[in-house]
Amino acid sequence: MKSVAMERERNIVTRFKNCSLLRNHEIIREDLWIQDGKIINPELLFFDAKRRPDLEVECRGAILSPGFIDLQINGGFGVDFSHNEVDVEEGVKRVATGLLQFGVTAFCPTIISSTPEKYHKILPRLKRRIGSKENGAEVLGVHLEGPFISAAKRGAHFEEFIRPLDKGWQSVMDVYGCLENVSIVTLAPELHQASGVISRLITMGITVSLGHSSATLVEGEVGVQNGASFITHLFNAMPPFHHRDPGLVGLLTSIQIPSDHILFYGVIADGIHTHPAALRIAYRTHYPGLVLVTDAISAMGLGDGTHILGEQRIQIDGRRATIKGTTTLAGSVATMDQCIQHLRKAARCSTVEALEAATLHPAQVLGDDKRKGSLDYGADADFVLLDEDLNVQGTFIRGIQVYANPMLPPFEPLPCD
C-alpha cells in the first residue's frame, strides 16, 4: 500500500498560477508546472498525457525565481563549519533549515584554513544531501577556502594554519585527507606547484577558485589556463587594482583566458566588503561571471556580540564583522536576499540580473545548471516567491513549501475544480 501511495504522490501535477517567472533571462507572466519534484512542460501534459493539473497554488502575483544558491558560507545561527567538529551533521542541518527563510535552497558549507586533524574529522561527515523541509537547503558539497593561500592576504585566516604546496598533490592529500565531499577549493595560484594541483583538482570534478592571493595578473592567468574558473570574493584578500599590474581583478578583462571559458567571481554585496562603485565596476565589466556570495559566519542571524570563526574571535557590530580588537573584516552577517537587494540598488542592474547572480551563475560555477539555478523544464522545482522589493514570501524545495513568511498566509495547494 505504501508503494502505491508513493507512486500516486509522484504522479500528482501541481500548477503554480498568477505569478511572474524568471525564465530565459527575462521575467514573464506564465504558470509553473511541477511533477515529482521537477519542472515539466505543460504542453506535453495537455497533448501527450491529455490531463489537467491535480492541484493549483495561487501565487498572488509574486515573482517566482529559482531558489538562491550560496557557494561560500562559513556558518550561521551559532554554527561555525570550521569549528563545529563535534556535532557536524546537526550543525549543518541547523544552518540548512535556517537559510530557507532567506530563499536559499542550496549551499556549499565553507571551511576556512584549519589543521589537518580538523579536516580529517569534519570532511568525511559533511556529505552532500538533498534538500527537504526536514533537512533544509540542499548541501552541494564543501567549499575548502585554504589553507593553501598567501599569508600576506590571509584576512581572518589563522596564520599558523596556512600551508605551502611544497610537495604538490601530496601536500593536498596530507592536509585534507579526503576530497569525496568537496565541490570547491580556494587556493593562491602563485604558490609553488599550484598549477599541477589545479589541474589535478579539475580532473576530479572539483571547481578551483583563486583567492586569498598576492598573485600578479600573469600568475592568475596561468591558474585559469590550468582550469581555475572562479575568483573568491573579488576585491577582498587580494592586491588592489593597479594600472601596471591589475592582479586577479584584471582577470575580468584578460585576453589570455580561452574564449570558451567563462570566468566567474564571487562578490560579497553586503554594503561593507565592497563599495557600490566597485560593485558597478565589476558588474559593468563582466556581468556574466558575477556570483553573489554571503561569506556569512556563525553570527549570521544572531545579532551583535563576540562570536567564533575557525580559531578567531569575531566582533559583530551592526552589519560589520571584524577580528576582535582589529579592523580586519572577517566574513559577513549578510543574508542572500539582502545581498540581492543591495546589488540591484548599488549596481543599478535589472531584477533579472540581480536574481541570476544568486541562481543561474552559481549553478554554472558547479556545472550543475541543468538541475539547479533555473526554471527550465527538467530542473529541480526549487524556487522562491518574492514581492517587488525582492522580499521572500515563501520558499519551495521540489515543489513543496519549506518556508512560509509568518506575515503572510501560506501558499497552499488546492484541488482543481
Which domains, and CATH codes, for the chain? 2-65+375-415 (2.30.40.10), 68-365 (3.20.20.140)
pLDDT score, position 4 = 44
In this structure, what C-alpha cell is assigned to residue 172?
593536498
Q: Which residues are catalytic?
A: 295
pTM higher than 0.85: yes
pLDDT tens string, the chain, 417 residues long: the values are: 455 455 556 789 999 999 999 999 999 999 999 999 999 999 887 766 567 889 999 999 999 999 999 999 999 998 999 987 668 999 999 999 999 999 999 999 999 999 999 999 999 999 999 999 999 999 999 999 999 999 999 987 889 999 999 999 999 999 999 999 999 999 999 999 999 999 999 999 999 999 999 999 999 999 999 999 999 999 999 998 888 899 999 999 999 988 888 999 999 999 888 899 999 999 999 999 999 999 998 888 877 888 766 667 888 887 788 888 888 877 788 999 999 999 999 999 999 999 999 999 999 999 999 999 999 999 999 999 999 999 999 999 999 999 999 999 889 999 986
User: What are the beta bridge partners of residue 16?
Assistant: 32, 57
Instruction: Give the closest residue to 278 by CA, choosing from 214, 220, 235.
Output: 235
Query: Is 233 annotated for ligand binding?
Result: yes
Q: What is the CA radius of gyration of the chain?
A: 21
Query: Is 143 annotated for ligand binding?
Result: no
pLDDT score, position 3 = 55
The C-alpha torsion from 42 through 47 and 49 to 55, rounded to 10°, is 40
CA distances from 201 to 51, 119, 182, 259, 368 (A): 47, 17, 10, 22, 17
What does DSSP say about strands 142-145 and 104-112: parallel, antiparallel, or unpaired?
parallel
Query: Is 330 annotated for ligand binding?
Result: yes
pLDDT score, position 69 = 98
Provide the H-helix boundaries in 290-394.
336-347, 351-356, 360-365
Say how far apart CA 385 and CA 259 lie, in whole Å.
Answer: 36
pLDDT score, position 389 = 98
Query: Is 145 annotated for ligand binding?
Result: yes
Query: Is 273 annotated for ligand binding?
Result: yes
